[in-house]
Structure 1
Amino acid sequence: MTALSVLPDALLRLPVAHRAYHDITQGRPENSRAAIKAAIAAGYGIEIDLQLTADGAAMVFHDYDLSRLTGQAGPLRQRSAEEAAAIPLLHGDGETIPRFEEILDLVAGRAPLLVELKDQDGAMGPAVGPLEAAAARALAGYGGPVAVMSFNPHSMAEMARLAPDLARGLTTCNYDATDWPLSGEACDRLRDIPDFDRVGASFISHQASDLSRPRVRALHGDGVPVLCWTIRSPEAEAEARKLADNITFEGYRAAIPG
């Protein structure tokens, strides 16, 4: 078993804004500087996503492909960091794709960060390393509350090797095979969260509609913090909080517990 890391308390206490506190009607795209500044001002935790460039840099961006969020074609992975950092975000009032280091400088410990490393293998397999190395380099010496997570357990095993003191967890779900480009065998395996101990995870962030799963309840019963995604209304939040320790939310203003 890899050494256990500890989830910062602030990521249990403060609602976590999914892809930062985004709202395109207010000029705040997902994972943008404006959305991050808004989350800090509102007192929320912040969830962001990392993708890799052709030259091994970590960019704060959710999708593999550029089209939905920028209107440009092709994968982010085929662009250099310099090229990616010049691509404007749609609805972003001139904002471009941020580098991870820039966002760490912007947050500077003023809000807890939950950083999801997107799977670079394509099938939750072992072809990982460059994104994890870029994330570990950027986070070296960062003083604010932060945790990393991924759907790919191999990613978190690599983070345990590169940055063993950094809090890490697994992003988990029901792995409905109709929703995932994975084999049925892979979905069946990942659904049971078998790698939790192996990677030294200290939490999971689980699909909100699947929180009653026996494996999730067993982990929670063993004292493992359970976060959940993605909550989109106060009513859904009230239900999720019956089974989860904290929420990742979007589309409304979550209340901060007193």
Structure 2
Amino acid sequence: MLDPRFLTVPITHRGLHGTGVPENSIAAAQAAIDAGYGIECDIQPGPDGVPLVFHDDRLDRLTGAQGLIAATDATTLSGLRLLGTDEPVPTLAQFLDLVAGQVPLLIEIKDQDGACGPDVGTLSVNVARALSGYDGPVAVMSFNPHMIAAFRAEAPDVPVGLTTCAFAEADWSRIAPDRREELAQIRDFDAVGASFISHDKNDLDNPRVDALRAQGIPVLTWTIRSPSEEATARRAATNITFEGYRAAT
């Protein structure tokens, strides 16, 4: 089950980032730890499938380089820096060494299929192996239930959840309408052994979210960007993932 600290400690979105402190960086993780916040981070595959803490599948927005992160060789990757700082692209192993159980760590494995389908590759398995022996509050989630099923098969003792939203066609055009409806209604929750959801703040009135909450399922929500948004979200959600301000602890 989900460690209770995930229900009480506000979670920083991609670490406590801001000017001079890039998202998903070691510096952002350290800042969150120093402030007593939890950390949400994203995982993409790097050279040889090594799990990297990085949101996008492409390098350009965060590093200025071109190409897919999964297709970048280790030498090139090691020379890249995040958003004009001295911060490198961290591996999940480096992140785990830093966090070391000090605060809750919420790991989102990014979809590798392109349409939340079954072609997930080895990333989930590699994340599970990286977490082997990790001692601290940790949970893993993904928009793609297949990613979570693959992870749970390798690491059945780590709590898992689903990252969820309304799955609007404009944002998820590669997914067939029937499947988008299934995802929006969170129908894979039981099948993948999920114990929580992390749901879009703009869809918290979804009746399926209400039903899960009524069953005692923790509902986290993203991405909160102000105290007023937090106040509204907390009427429906158990805890928040936030950025751009300091949430009350």
Quickly name the TM-score band, shorter chain normalised: over 0.9
SS of match in other structure, 2:48: coil
Which of residues 237, 242, 245 is equivalent to 1:252? 245
Name the stretch that deviates more: 184-193 or 218-227: 184-193
Trace 1:79-228 onto structure 2 (pairs within 5 A).
79-92=72-85, 94-182=86-174, 183-228=176-221
TM-fit CA distance, 1:81: 4.1
Work out the CA distance in 1 between the residues paired with 2:115 and 2:217.
26
The question of whether the paired residues in 2 share the 8 Å contact of 1:28 and 1:91 is answered with no
Q: Which residue of 1 aligns with 2:63?
A: 70
Work out the CA distance in 2 between the residues paired with 1:82 and 1:227.
38
Name the stretch that deviates more: 46-55 or 200-209: 46-55
Work out the CA distance in 1 between the residues paired with 2:129 and 2:43.
13
TM-fit CA distance, 1:10: 1.0
Q: Percent identity?
A: 55
Q: Which residue of 1 aligns with 2:28?
A: 35
TM-fit CA distance, 1:244: 0.3
Unaligned runs of 5+ in 2: none
The question of whether the paired residues in 2 share the 8 Å contact of 1:49 and 1:116 is answered with yes
SS of match in other structure, 1:68: helix
Unaligned runs of 5+ in 1: 1-5
Work out the CA distance in 1 between the residues paired with 2:151 and 2:172.
24
The structure with higher relative contact order (CA 8 Å, sep 6+) is 1
TM-fit CA distance, 1:53: 1.7
Q: Which residue of 2 aligns with 1:13?
A: 8
Q: Which residue of 1 aligns with 2:38?
A: 45
SS of match in other structure, 1:51: strand
Work out the CA distance in 1 between the residues paired with 2:77 and 2:148.
25
TM-fit CA distance, 1:122: 0.6
Q: Which amino acid aligns with 2:98?
A: L
TM-fit CA distance, 1:107: 0.7
Give the TM-score taking structure 1 as reference length.
Answer: 0.94
SS of match in other structure, 1:74: coil
Name the stretch that deviates more: 178-187 or 208-217: 178-187
Name the stretch that deviates more: 127-136 or 203-212: 127-136
TM-fit CA distance, 1:86: 2.8
Q: Which amino acid aligns with 2:69?
A: L
Q: Which residue of 2 aligns with 1:3?
A: none
The question of whether the paired residues in 2 share the 8 Å contact of 1:120 and 1:128 is answered with yes
TM-fit CA distance, 1:111: 1.0
Q: Cα RMSD (Å) of the superposition?
A: 1.0
Give the TM-score taking structure 2 as reference length.
Answer: 0.97
